[in-house]
Chains A and B, each alone.
Chain A
Amino acid sequence: MFGNFDFQAIVRGWHALIFEGLAFTLEVTFLAMIGGTILGTVFAMMRLSSTKPLAWFAGAYVNLLRSVPLVMVIFWFYFMAPYIGAWIIGAERPVQVGAFASALITFILFEACYYCEIMRAGIQSIPAGQANAGYALGFSYWQLMRLVILPQAFRNMLPVLLTQTIVLFQDVSLVYIISLPDFVTIASKIAQRDNRLVEMYLFVAVVYFALCLALSYVVRRLRARLTIIR
């Protein structure tokens, strides 16, 4: 069966696959991880806030977005963003958001929900005594969060945050539906052009597998190291 395989398509498309497709995927993954973690941490603090409207808003946001399939969020956001943008700045015509920005914002907003729940667990795992000790020294809420609680929460949750990032890395492939030039989209274009679908998708799967496996290995190592310190 493998006798008919022609992996020349991969060799020919090598440059575009790696330096355009995979690079795009990794770039979106990386930036969405950073943005999602920051936004998620803000949401986590809001959810744990004693100010009811803040907690309610963050809770509603997280629960809403987690109940909608990511494909739908990408789809909706891609088409709605220009109009929402126009509405926010009060422009007459839809704002040109651009494919990359649209995808990035979507993933940040979506992944923030998951990062939020992770950071919330992380913050709650820090004993209340730590907050008391910080306050007793005269820290404000923001100083307490920045200097005492979040560094510990972040450190404790780093393995889980990275595991979520592996999921995000795979999720980025869903931009296929809006034809953004990610790894899968470029691979599929080359595959259709050269009529080598099986080989190309096999290649894509192997690359995803290898990268995810490597990353989860890193997570395992990290988990072992962090538990010793704590």
Chain B
Amino acid sequence: MEKDEKTGEKAPPMILLDKVGKFYGNFRVLSECSTQVAKGEVVVVCGPSGSGKSTLIKCVNGLEPFQEGEILVNGVSVGAASTDLPKLRSHVGMVFQNFELFPHMTILENLTIAQTKVIKRDKAEAEQRAAELLHRVGLHIHATRYPGQLSGGQQQRVAIARALAMDPICMLFDEPTSALDPEMISEVLDVMTELAQDGMTMMCVTHEMGFAKRVAHRVAFIDQGQIVEDVSKDEFFDHPRSERAAQFLSRILHH
């Protein structure tokens, strides 16, 4: 894969993780994590809490440093010291568990700030793009409100729109529905489903197995910092190969 670094766009997988390992001090959080997400593919990463899935996805856009292996996003090495991380991140959308909208800005400002400051769009263009996306997630009437005035589900939809406003080449979701009340989960999953159907490349850490069944192409199961299983969706749900994945599934699907 290293050879593709120069030619960039020709690298086949959009996201490639090659034997990624990470430590907190002496404590090993991730070991030998390898997987990939092709262009247009939706990969769901799941696993028990504390297994390292959030850490893994934060490594993908360099929010968490890692010590071993390599991650390439669209052919660019995330770990390399020479990589312009802000530039790389501006192409990679990310949605967080706690939404992380900027509470001191209106919804519209949340959507335009990075467009104008990072990719230097002019204000009118940024606002137009923001309006389109707010329409798409059904929240355009809230454009002048502040995040604190919106429900959790609405905030998460705004957060998705904020990431999309940068016209990302792929999207990372870090447990996007875990902080939501049950009745709000579906409105967020609907937006994500629609996004997947539009062909967006997505890597989603989530416990929503219904969503995984509906839209994922592949499922990566992670336990104790290792990717135990990395198979197609049907194979994962019908014939989980590892005992730990089978256990996890039986527990999570029972209720």
Contact = CB atoms under 8 A, between A and B. Distances in A.
A179 interface: no
B104 A139 contact: no
A147 B100 CA distance: 14
B113 to A, nearest CB: 6
B58 interface: yes
Interface residues of B, number: 31
A137 B162 contact: yes
A22 to B, nearest CB: 35
Given A147-B117, A229-B148, A138 B166 contact: yes
Nearest to A129: B100
B94 interface: yes
Given A136-B94, A230-B148, A143 B100 contact: no
B104 A136 contact: no
A143 B117 contact: yes
Interface stretch (A8-16, A30-38, A148-156): A148-156
A137 B90 contact: yes
Interface residues of A, number: 20
A152 B100 contact: no
B87 A138 contact: yes
Interface in B105-132: 113-114, 117-119
B58 A132 contact: yes
B86 interface: yes
A137 B96 contact: no
Contact of A138 (B58, B90, B100, B104): B90
A133 interface: yes
B105 to A, nearest CB: 9
Contacts of A138: 86-87, 89-91, 114, 118-119, 166
Contacts of A229: 146, 148
Dominant SS at the A interface?
A: helix
Interface string A167-208: 000000000000000000000000000000000000000000
Contacts of A132: 58, 63, 94, 96, 100
Contacts of A135: 63, 85-86, 89
B58 to A, nearest CB: 7
Nearest to B61: A136
Nearest to A140: B86
A229 B146 CA distance: 9
Given A129-B96, A151-B104, A137 B118 contact: yes
Most buried by A among B86, B90, B146, B166: B86
Contacts of B94: 132-133, 136
Interface string B186-203: 000000000000000000
A96 interface: no
Contact of B89 (A127, A129, A137, A151): A137
Q: Which 5 A-B pairs have the closest CB atoms?
A: A138-B90, A133-B100, A137-B114, A136-B94, A138-B118
Interface of A: 127, 129-130, 132-140, 143, 147-148, 151-152, 155, 229-230
10 contacts: A129-B96, A133-B101, A135-B63, A135-B89, A137-B163, A138-B114, A139-B117, A139-B118, A155-B104, A229-B148
